Chain A
Amino acid sequence: MLKLLNKYADKLTRHGLCDPDAPLVGGLNAGILWNRPDPLCTELEKIIAGLNINSLIFARPREPFFSILNYHCHQNEVEFTPQDTETRTFLHAIPIARSTSVAEILPLLQNRKGCVVEGQGIITWGTVSPEQAFVVFSSIIFSAFVKFLVDYASDHHAGKVSTEAQHLLPQILTAYETFLPAPGTPELASGPYATEDAILAAMIQAGKATVDARMVDSFFGNISCFADQTIYISQTGSSLDELQDCIDACPLDNSASTGITASSELVAHRDIYRGGENRVILHGHPKFSVIMSMLCFEENCARRGQCHIKCDKPRFIEDIPIIPGEVGTGPRGLSNTLPPAIQGRRAAIVYGHGVFSGGKSDFRTAFATLAAVEDLCRAKYMQLISQPAKTGLRP
């Protein structure tokens, strides 16, 4: 149990989400165990007593995330509701507490997987593993960051940026620089990969590189490679930086359903492979790509508010298409929208969600493309907010 608690405390630090001694991770079986002693444990244990859970994380995030969370706490009374896919699908809304008092926090956590405590940090919980608490923690940070910059650009466009946001922005952007790893491209195995072992090794390597480059929060994203009529794909809910034993081999003819645990995007990956020359696919949630996908200044659009499922306007950032589509195979699923959009292109961005990039023989191209799309989007964003107000995005 302690090993598991330390693993996620360490992961919060390693992923740049918290300072080394910030995370408090608690696990419960017959009793409660913490990754380290802390005066706050007593209060947190009272919260735990009111919940039917087996793990809890409390931590103050690093900058720029901490300031962003506090900003949302100032701007909203009871909760804030980012519009990205992670929030829409899993978090629904992020509730706000003003103190760590049991009376205030318990009702919030009784209904949501986590909450923000103004000026203090984030509390999240899990019912089977601290991994759930970790995932929610990193999702809250991701969604809060995306919301701040999307709101900023929209307000900028409308000429109504608040003084607080205006004041905060430079600090946010500077701190974000320190969140990103030092520039440089990781050395990835070149393809085509001769054996199954080589495929698995290349996937493990590329997955970890994508997380290390901070282009996805571990738990999300997926990766695949197509060879010998078989799609090798990361499992659902696997961590891209821990893919050892988490890759399913799915025969193209579905002759075995072992891949029932494969990523929810298996169908999208399959149809991309069927329709073209790609042999690998890499999917991450790089933040500025997600932010830029959500910035559309179309006047009087009939589909406003439903962009994530109904946008029918061809949108591009340079050569990269932005498409609607929800996670998975539903009628509005990206399994329908993504394969045709990425056909003949190096990548596509799914609205509010993330980037899919392809490669014809190995992950070097796919990784480089993912990074290039994110760099491009970041540059576009900076350009956008430095333009005079009300000029809008001209893709």
Chain B
Amino acid sequence: MDGWTGRILRIDLSTKTTEELRLPLEVYARNLGGKGLCGELLFEHFCQPWDAPQMPLVFMTGPLNNTSSPTSGRMTVMSRSPLTGAIADASVGGKLGTMLKRAGYDGLVVTGQSATWCGLNIDENGVRFSAAGHLAGLNISAIYAKLKNTSTRADAAYAMIGPAAEAGVRYAAIVFDGHYLAGRGGLGLSMAAKKLKFIAVSGQQKTAVSDPAELQLAREDIYRLVAASPVLTGELGIGNYGTGALYDLMRSRRMMPTNNFRQTWFAPGAQMNAHAYKEIYHPKKFGCAGCHIQCKKIGAGGEIMPEFETMSHFSALLGNQDLGAVVEANRLCNEAGMDTISAGVTLATYAELQDQPLSAVKFLALLEDIAAGRGEGAALGQGALALATAADTPELAMVTKGLEFPAYDPRGAYGMALAYATSTRGGCHLRAYPISHEILRKPVATERFSFSGKARIIKISEDLNAVVDSLTACKFLFFAASLEEYARALQAVTGLQTSAQQLLKLGERIYFRERLMNARNGFDAKDDDIPPRFFNEAGTGTEVLRVKPLDRGEFLAERAAYYRIRGLDDQGRPRAQKCAELELPC
């Protein structure tokens, strides 16, 4: 087997035992890795409660990890979401994916529950279980420092959970290498339920590549396109400014969620853009293993610069004009190990419920309370929907399937409305990322204030991104490259014949299977929706740029079209015929 190691490690934390899982090549070829293999391994277990000891928490790399293929340093973590009950998966950067391959494994399937906090130390010789009680209560940076200080392997990569997960925060994250978050859906809490505090991985093995010369050519094709992409490597692109480069654009397009999505324009935003951070913090670049874009930014004083979503939600969404408070909020969330998007939206929900804006002092204090599970923080730690539901106004939670929305108002990009609704993990922008064509003009521009034709576009994009997350590549690269170039890279690595369209077919199966897993847990059309606010209230436009409420009828018609294209019935449930076509049990 080239590309894959062919070995997956099953770890039972109840018995502290491990066994090796060897899947046939056909299973690898059909699921690729990352998201695909995670889904394959979770499928039969998915109807258990999220915190049942036998509910697996799966970490999976892809065939391109640990090769010279561009942006191949990512991996996927998947389980059932403590926040939503639906699929929770996260594509995460850093170097743990690369290290797992070097240790000789394609991935980890963690089940069971340890009696006390424990850690996993994985290398070429297998797994060593260790006690981790001494790390409980510590912040992420302290845990990371202790792990590095006590490790005998300087090259080790780490995944860890922080205080938020210990406190039961339903949007707790798993933090990789100190800075990279498997952020959405509460995977940190899934890990906490198993009493697993950290995973350390190191290794030296090489990943076999079928045709290195061909891989080199594929790599050049991809790099050429990346260099030609203004969004990635342009003067104002995310290579230079981080994802914060999107801030001015979203603002100028009048689709920046403001005051809990009550407005779509934040006047003081001009002083809180990526340029402002650059002037104040003089950030340097860093990024994932195997990536040359290096979109992460760290300030001269060691401050981690917030990503776009954090910049936007902790300014506009909360009506906050204090840039320093955004950086501090980002630090608090990272240190606690929790998702900034869910935290921001939950705070904005709280502010709307209280009917008054939160001062920076107040929301920073609340973040600390959430992370510690104390006072009002305990309720806020349950997420926006639980908070709004407790106040009998669930419609004030800006969520789909209980997952809080990121910083793109769907009234400014209609495809986003449909993409939020249909995403298998809930209010997530990354499944279909219509912003790519509706706003960033890639691969070409589409009409952003229209639902026309969006159903198929969203379906194709979901299939595409399912492939990207299975490969496991970075979505940003697909602003520039396409599956045509990645098919070449994949074929060079594995030696298995493939093509862009064959990969999309795999993506369709991988995504449909998630739909099936959700359906088995009762998810259907009622969950494929967005809050009434977007149909009833206009955004904040200008005289020439109107941001109208979405048309409910058009939305439902396009969702119905999506159901037909995806092979779902009119209630959004998988059709037997489609299951059969994709060779999935119904």
Contact = CB atoms under 8 A, between A and B. Distances in A.
B457 A260 contact: no
Contacts of A54: 453, 456-457, 460
A128 B437 contact: yes
A30 B505 contact: no
Contacts of B247: 257
Interface stretch (B201-209, B220-228, B528-536, B571-579): B220-228
A330 B233 contact: yes
Q: Which 8 A-B pairs have the closest CB atoms?
A: A330-B227, A110-B501, A327-B228, A111-B499, A30-B561, A328-B228, A257-B236, A328-B227
Given A54-B456, A260-B440, 11 more contacts: A29-B455, A51-B501, A92-B221, A112-B484, A127-B443, A257-B273, A261-B230, A261-B439, A264-B229, A266-B230, A267-B235
Interface string B258-278: 000000000000100111000
B299 interface: no
Interface string B550-571: 0000000000110011000000
Contact of B444 (A51, A92, A237, A250): A237
Contacts of B228: 89, 264, 326-328, 330
A129 B446 contact: yes
B508 interface: yes
Contact of B501 (A52, A89, A264): A52
A33 B469 CA distance: 32
Interface string B231-272: 101111110010011111100100000000000000000100
A30 B455 contact: yes
A260 B249 contact: yes
A52 B408 CA distance: 27
B241 A257 contact: yes
Interface in B422-454: 437, 439-446, 452-453
17 contacts: A52-B463, A54-B457, A88-B224, A89-B228, A109-B501, A111-B487, A126-B444, A127-B460, A128-B457, A237-B445, A259-B236, A260-B231, A260-B238, A260-B440, A261-B249, A330-B227, A332-B227
Interface in A78-136: 88-90, 92, 107, 109-113, 126-129, 131-132, 135
Nearest to A258: B248
Nearest to A332: B227
B453 A27 contact: yes
A386 interface: no
A92 B441 contact: no
A143 interface: no
Given A54-B457, A128-B444, A92 B231 contact: no
Contacts of A42: none
A262 B487 CA distance: 29
Interface residues of B, number: 60
A257 B453 CA distance: 30
Given A258-B249, A333-B227, A266 B234 contact: yes
Contacts of B461: 127-128
A236 B446 contact: no
B224 A266 contact: no
Interface string B162-196: 00000000000000000000000000000000000
B505 A326 contact: no
Given A127-B443, A261-B441, A254 B227 contact: no
A89 B224 contact: yes
Please report whether the interface of chain B is mostly helix, strand, loop or mixed according to DSSP.
helix
Interface in A40-56: 50-54
A392 to B, nearest CB: 30
A251 to B, nearest CB: 9
Given A27-B453, A111-B499, A132 B443 contact: yes
B229 A328 contact: yes
A113 B482 CA distance: 10
Contact of A256 (B225, B246, B273): B273
Contacts of B453: 1, 4, 27, 29, 54
A330 B224 contact: yes
Nearest to A333: B227
A274 to B, nearest CB: 12
A129 B500 contact: no
A266 to B, nearest CB: 5
Contact of B236 (A127, A262, A328): A262
B248 A1 contact: no
Nearest to B274: A257
Interface string B463-500: 11000000000000000000011010000000000011
B63 to A, nearest CB: 18
A257 B244 CA distance: 9
B17 interface: no
B116 interface: no
Given A113-B484, A256-B275, A257-B248, A262 B457 contact: no
A210 interface: no
Contacts of B130: none
B216 interface: no
A224 to B, nearest CB: 13
B504 interface: yes
For B241, B445, B487, B504, which residue has the most chain A Cβ atoms within 10 angstroms? B445
A329 interface: yes
B245 A257 contact: yes
B14 interface: no
Nearest to B564: A30
A270 interface: yes
B502 interface: yes
Contacts of A259: 235-236
Nearest to A55: B453
A238 interface: yes
A163 interface: no
Given A257-B245, A257-B273, A131 B444 contact: yes
Nearest to B457: A128
Nearest to B225: A89
A268 to B, nearest CB: 10
Nearest to B238: A260
A205 interface: no
A261 B231 contact: yes
B252 A258 contact: yes
Contacts of A328: 227-230, 233-234
Contacts of A50: 501
A29 B230 contact: no
A266 B228 CA distance: 11
A327 B440 contact: no
A27 B446 CA distance: 14
A365 interface: no
Contacts of A262: 230, 234, 236
